[in-house]
Chains A and B, each alone.
Chain A
């Protein structure tokens, strides 16, 4: 089975280790992973700003680059949701493009739900001695139904204890451009979220979307919290020895998992 990896623009730019973790998890599960060079972003910044024309232009590029694979996987519910949930609606007036968008939408997945629901992965070999709390990023949760799958895999990680937040499904205040268009509202939402995180007593925060993670990590660190923030793919891939998001790196963050 050949999987096209949609890296996402944030992983590409800020945290390549999430991409390499995704590659490792997919390859360990028996997939052949291809990373098309002709990929940039899913188009969400334009789509959510009302700029339909530019969103369509980017979507066309994604469709052309990825429609040849058996499956398309993104280490993000947000970008995965954009392709799997929103692309077809962008081509309401173009039946041919819409059919292609729908075909791609039908085989596009968020990473962890793909591992569990499509590949049937029930256990990954990894260890993390930590008390972890898991934030349900909005698009993955509500557009793609990502909820039980990450918890199922985390429950099999040696040394890991899960401590749920009171409201893990409430938005962290990131929202893409929202967090800089309305920084004060975003901060108020984020403050609720970090209080909820602190109340769990967890020492590690995980989620499946780098945008939300950078938002929450930045706030926790501004507040002087010692909670470490990681993408769930890194933990599942056994890459928890990397410096957490926003933490100083001791050694260069190499693609330890890339063979």
Chain B
């Protein structure tokens, strides 16, 4: 996917005046956080589980090589095949090769952020293979040729009416000629269309929430059951997952599941939790003939052992974006690439470069709400600050900001000069008139006064000046 992260401000401008988007965001901002709150309230040990989840992921990352090799050995023993993909291109090539070998024309895909990251659909289409998204949200945005705007709710930026229009436009040629208006009808229509596509598919591609080293299983949760059809009906099942998805044991998966759905949607469990463990065995009633796992690195191993490693704990629940007031204001597309919200602001500079995506970690008030809900306690503000530090070190910070900081620091480390400067500023502000108690306009403060008045300083001088007079002389 072509990044527009460099044009973040333009993206923001568009998002803020997009009425459909704003209508959708108004619902999202309240809905997700309220459901999570209720789910957490019902589970007194939730905070302890977050600690446990963090520890499990930290342990797995500290011994990632060990668990990845153990996972590969298990998968191989089960009759499956593991493919190591250092880059996005490698992963696309591996998947295409498997599809070609299987003689595939149609591929049923269940939602996968890794597939978005490596731009798999475009690659398959360019080589004559049709990928069909089977998650309802992904299906909608595939019809609209849009990227997802949220990692667990890809079409959350759309209103029901927009979906109705999209289905009406695309389903007419399939014989569905009525424009539907009710949610259940829209779902039923998509279900009817997709059922045919499942049956046509030669290959099923799914992501994975976790890879279990102990058993060689890939684990997936969905609310629609589409992943189960994607991996049982076609002859070939390909799992694409990034390397940090591996965890040691089934017991660990059970612990992580307890925080995953609650953090994501406020459910205790997702509707479907599926473990895929190798291809169909003799005597199995269903299952694919071939089982492949493509393990993507794409720069992740370079994060191991460094000060940004915590980002690899992410289990992709989406809670950080559901609780982020910046995401709530601008939606996911404004972030310009695959991963939006706080985790996107941390991951994207790593995956596509800080020169391209440097705006993202800057567009945060560091309110910390993301960290306060993260099920694996990723210190997201701290990681965003690390990126800002790298930008500053590499002189990517805008010159005006650097100069402003240099002047500020010069004064802030010279208290006497600072007193003189604040006293002067105080008197200058008085020149603009403080009779109203506030200013509707001030020079150099346009970014503030465009939307709000600027409160005038109280009369009588700075605190330190007053303190010196009253206390310095008096006592």
Contacts and interface: CB of A to CB of B under 8 A. Distances in A.
Interface of A: 7, 9, 11-17, 19-20, 35, 37-41, 43, 45-52, 54, 57-58, 61, 138-139, 142-143, 169-171, 173-190, 192, 214-215, 217-219, 221-222, 242-243, 245-249, 252-255, 258
12 contacts: A13-B425, A50-B387, A50-B390, A54-B412, A138-B365, A184-B12, A189-B325, A192-B329, A218-B452, A221-B452, A246-B437, A258-B466
B471 to A, nearest CB: 7
A187 B452 CA distance: 8
A254 B9 CA distance: 43
Contacts of B448: 179-180, 183, 218
Given A19-B463, A46-B408, A192-B325, A215 B452 contact: yes
A51 to B, nearest CB: 5
Given A12-B462, A35-B464, A46 B455 contact: no
Contacts of A185: 12, 16, 326, 329-330, 363
B166 interface: no
Contact of B408 (A45, A187, A215): A45
A215 B448 CA distance: 9
Contacts of A138: 365-369
Interface residues of B, number: 72
Contact of A246 (B362, B367, B455): B455
Given A50-B392, A54-B409, A247-B437, 6 more contacts: A14-B458, A16-B458, A50-B385, A181-B401, A218-B455, A255-B466
Given A38-B415, A189-B326, A222-B451, A253 B459 contact: yes
B460 interface: yes
Contacts of A20: 463, 466
A25 to B, nearest CB: 15
Contacts of B455: 14-15, 214, 217-218, 245-246
Nearest to A194: B452
A54 B405 contact: yes
Interface in B402-452: 402, 405-406, 408-409, 411-413, 415, 418, 422, 425-426, 434-438, 440, 445, 447-448, 450-452
Given A12-B463, A49-B392, A143-B368, A58 B413 contact: yes
Contacts of B387: 50
A49 B438 contact: no
Interface in B364-406: 364-369, 371-372, 385, 387-393, 397, 401-402, 405-406
B447 A51 contact: no
A184 B458 contact: no
Interface string B198-209: 000000000000
A248 B437 contact: yes
Which of A12, A48, A170, A252: most chain B CB closer than 10 A? A12
Q: Which 5 pairs from chain A and chain B are nearest by CB?
A: A175-B365, A50-B388, A218-B452, A50-B392, A171-B367
A116 B453 CA distance: 34
B471 A169 contact: no
Contacts of A177: 401
A49 B405 contact: yes
Given A50-B389, A184-B12, A221-B453, A171 B437 contact: no
B452 A222 contact: yes
Contact of A179 (B437, B447, B460): B447
B225 interface: no
Contacts of A54: 405-406, 408-409, 412-413
A11 B465 CA distance: 12
B327 to A, nearest CB: 10
B404 to A, nearest CB: 9
Contacts of B363: 178, 181-182, 185
Contacts, number: 224
B284 to A, nearest CB: 50
A158 B289 CA distance: 76
A39 B392 contact: no
Contacts of A254: 460
B447 A17 contact: no
A45 B392 CA distance: 13
A242 B468 CA distance: 21
A175 B458 contact: no
B467 interface: yes
Contact of B470 (A11, A38, A258): A258
A249 B16 contact: no
A72 to B, nearest CB: 16
A223 B293 CA distance: 57
Nearest to B372: A142
A222 B413 contact: no
B405 A51 contact: yes
Nearest to A251: B459
Given A40-B412, A138-B369, A246-B438, A47 B385 contact: yes
A175 to B, nearest CB: 3
Given A50-B391, A58-B409, A222-B451, A39 B415 contact: yes
A214 B369 CA distance: 21
Contacts of A258: 466-467, 470-471
A37 B460 contact: no
Contacts of B390: 50
B147 interface: no
A4 B203 CA distance: 69
B420 to A, nearest CB: 12
A249 B426 CA distance: 16
A256 to B, nearest CB: 11
Nearest to A89: B382
B359 to A, nearest CB: 9
B405 A45 contact: yes
A246 B456 contact: yes
Contacts of A51: 392, 397, 402, 405, 409
